[in-house]
Amino acid sequence: MTMLAALRRAIVRGFLLGACVTLGPRVGAAQSMDYGTLEQLFGEPVTMSVTGSPQRAADAPANIEIITQDDIRRSGATTIPDVLQYVTGVDVRRQGIASAEVGIRGYNQTSNPALMVLVDGRQVYMVDYGRVVWPTIPIQLDEIRQIEVIKGPNSALYGFNAVSGVINIVTYDPLKDHINTATLRGGTQDYRSGSVVGTGKLGDNTGLRISFGGFGARDFPQGPLSSFDQASRISPFNYAFHLDGRTQFSQDIGAFVDVSLADTRTAEQSPGGPFDTGTLRSASFRAGMSAETASGLWSLSAYHSETLVSLTSVVYGLPLSFGETQTTDVVQASDLVKLGTDHALRIGMEYRHNADRSQDFLLGTIANTIYAASLMWDWQITPSVSLTNAARVDYLQLHYDGQLLAASELTTADYNRTSLVETSFNSGLVWRVTADDTLRLMAARGVRLPSLLEYGFQSDLQGLSPVVFSGRPDLHPSIIWSTELDYDRALPFIHSNLRTALFAQRIDDLIGNPLDTPITATPNGMPIYQSQNIGYSTAAGIELELKGHSPSGFRWSLSNALATTTDHTILAQNMTSNGITAYAHAVPRDVAIAGIGYTRQGLELDLFARWQSSFLDIRTMDDGFSYTPVEVNNYITLNARAGYRLTDNLSVSLAAQQFNRSELIETAGPPIERRIIVSVTVHLN
């Protein structure tokens, strides 16, 4: 089915799903949110990710940290994971210039399926493992207005991947913002990159933003990798194009369309331990509209995305190539209505069809169709107390078309009769005790549905493996229960804010994919590596953060995140069961972050430090198939940036990443090298 045909099908289904009515008064003009004006009104960045209404992060019924464009620029980062490594409670495992795994509050793992990432509301995860390949996100750092990091399970608000947290990337609005920049970067490791971002108006009511950019580099040194993993690594590159168009037909009706293309090559660790080099070519198209009516503010959007994946790996000393095609069709409809002055309701409906086709490790096509309905109720109980409740129901149907391995003893009928219904909820109570003190109490039930490869993986590694690898259709979803208590305190006498968070959670029915679980046997006694539910895990932690800035131009931040995890799984006593490290040891227990900066006229100086405790990782052995545990010792990394605005139209900067060490072991993979990067940015009015 072509992209346009799939999109037409999705839109038709979306109009049917959106046929719900909510009565109430008009909410406000159907226009995109003017972040700039609201930031000036609130005196700080704002978000509308949780309730659909603009709020300060401290007033939102969720733990949200907002990273602004100024923060991104001052970090000296060249990738989004490089920006996120200095956010409290976020774990970033770098494996190369372009490769990283990102997790929130523990449970970070290869091809992490527990993190939801969105760009202007569009989910950007890969449907195979539910992972995020960061270089494929088709936007440039200069076009990001802010990055919202929402910690803890938020399945009821965002969907089934949002079980550890959500990262919402908000770009500039071409109707409201005037952004025209061109940036060139160059540095060590033969790094070179460039990007162009331009906005323009067509009349008073239509705006366009176009961006294009890319990079190339020599990847980090091979280090302690096995000879097979070394043979699989090729230097990365990326090229991306993005177009975002918005129009306001009237005060009450608006519409948007965005198109993106990306071509990426990156070397990263795959589930099971080995390093692969993947070439990914992706395209997406999205369109939507909103309308203010007597029954509320209605929104409807639909998008189609398609990614062609080619993997190169080495197993038993032999080079192997794998290919797959991933597609996603989504339609979302919602109605936000204000009932009086104290109540707001948002009703949502979603249709999603994910498909993965591969003759190499699926022997056909596996797909799921998901229908979801959600309801959010925001109640302003008193001027200082608010309560937000959200609930969501997901109904999943599984489909398989192909030839299953006989050794798996599964049939096509086993897949095609599989369905499930799961519910999730989020509840948040916010109490503004005084003008300087805010308390938040939150509880949630999150759901992580099995990924397509956890369901349908079928491979004997092209005949090289003595046993087979198989998914299974009877997997249970992982269920996460979470409670959290936050306290925010403004400290005006030192121009700072103190944020604290206490959380506890439990994950039932953890899922191990066939590359990460111990060998088992089929009912007929055939040895097999197969997806399975591996038990449960609990975690508890505390986060402390102090952040501020003074009128003299200084700014500072200091934070500590401590989390302890206890595993009750079949892997808990076996640290390297076919490549996976037990969750309790797979991430650092303790992380401290500090930053200091200074701005005077056109000069910006910033210094960042991150220390983390030791953890266990795994490394592939020279046979390309067995593994050994590796302890990654505690370490500190220091980054610095100096920037200067020469004129109104020209800025230059020098950034040093990890300047305290020439090489640093961050994972069991290749060491991370010191990087020096020079940037030149031209700003056009």
Task: Classify the C-alpha dihedral 658-187-143-159 as positive or negative.
Answer: negative
* 298 has pLDDT over 70: yes
Instruction: Give whichever of 2-16, 104-118, 419-433, 523-537 has the largest mean pLDDT.
Output: 419-433
Over residues 209-237, mean pLDDT: 76
Over residues 38-56, mean pLDDT: 78
Over residues 155-179, mean pLDDT: 90
Q: pLDDT grade, residue 622 (50/70/90)?
A: low
The tens digit of pLDDT for each residue in 498-521 reads 999 999 999 999 888 887 777 777
* 674 has pLDDT over 70: yes
Q: pLDDT grade, residue 617 (50/70/90)?
A: confident
The tens digit of pLDDT for each residue in 330-345 reads 999 999 999 988 999 9
Task: Please tell me what DSSP assigns to residue 438.
Answer: E
Cβ atoms 422, 477 nearer than 8 A: yes
**How far, in Å, are 200, 220, 356 from residue 326 at the CA level?**
33, 29, 5
State the Cα–Cα distance between residues 181 and 679, nearest whole angstrom. 13
Over residues 230-251, mean pLDDT: 87
Q: Please give the angle made by the CA atoms of 455, 153 and 87, to the nearest 5 degrees.
A: 110
**Architecture of domain 3-267+289-324+337-365+382-414+429-683 in this structure:** Beta Barrel (2.40)
* 1 has pLDDT over 60: no
State the Cα–Cα distance between residues 71 and 91, nearest whole angstrom. 18
Q: How many Cβ atoms from other residues are within 10 Å of residue 662's Cβ?
A: 9
Over residues 579-590, mean pLDDT: 74
Q: How many Cβ atoms from other residues are within 10 Å of residue 30's Cβ?
A: 22
Q: What is the largest CA-CA distance in the chain?
A: 75
Task: Please tell me what DSSP assigns to residue 580.
Answer: B
Report pLDDT for 575.
Answer: 45
Report pLDDT for 545.
Answer: 97
Q: pLDDT grade, residue 28 (50/70/90)?
A: very low
Nearby residues of 303 by Cβ (< 8 Å), 6 or more positions away = 7, 10, 122, 284, 285, 286, 287, 328, 329, 330
* 15 has pLDDT over 90: no
* 29 has pLDDT over 70: no
Report pLDDT for 144.
Answer: 96
Mean residue pLDDT of the chain comes to 86
Task: Please tell me what DSSP assigns to residue 169.
Answer: E
**What are the extents of the domains in the chain?**
3-267+289-324+337-365+382-414+429-683
**Least confident piece of the model among 246-260, 367-381, 524-538:** 524-538
* 117 has pLDDT over 80: yes
Report pLDDT for 231.
Answer: 62
Over residues 570-590, mean pLDDT: 64
Q: Is 539 left (phi over 0), alpha (psi -120 to 50) or beta?
A: beta
Over residues 347-363, mean pLDDT: 93
The token pair that represents 395 in the structure block: 């109904």
Q: pLDDT grade, residue 678 (50/70/90)?
A: very high
State the Cα–Cα distance between residues 263 and 35, nearest whole angstrom. 31
DSSP secondary structure string, 271-327? TTS-EEEEEEEEEEEEEEEEEEETTEEEEEEEEEEEEEEEEEEEETTEEEEEEEEEE
The token pair that represents 431 in the structure block: 């109490």
Higher local confidence (pLDDT), 464 or 157: 157
CA quadruple 116, 131, 263, 282: dihedral, nearest 10: -70
Q: pLDDT grade, residue 129 (50/70/90)?
A: confident
* 240 has pLDDT over 90: yes
Cβ atoms 232, 275 nearer than 8 A: yes
Burial 170-181 (b: 16+ CB within 10 A, else e): bbbbbbbbebbb
Higher local confidence (pLDDT), 577 or 425: 425
Ramachandran angles phi, psi of 235, nearest 5°: -60, 145
Query: The whole model's pTM is what?
Result: 0.90
* 235 has pLDDT over 50: yes
* 318 has pLDDT over 60: yes
Over residues 187-191, mean pLDDT: 92
Over residues 320-326, mean pLDDT: 85
Scan for tokens 């998914």, then name that residue. 471
Reduced to 3 states (helix: H, G, I; strand: E, B; else coil), residue 203 is coil
Q: pLDDT grade, residue 253 (50/70/90)?
A: very high
Report pLDDT for 553.
Answer: 93
The tens digit of pLDDT for each residue in 441-454 reads 999 999 999 999 99
Q: pLDDT grade, residue 569 (50/70/90)?
A: confident
**How far, in Å, are 8, 275, 330, 366 from residue 11 at the CA level?**
5, 39, 9, 22
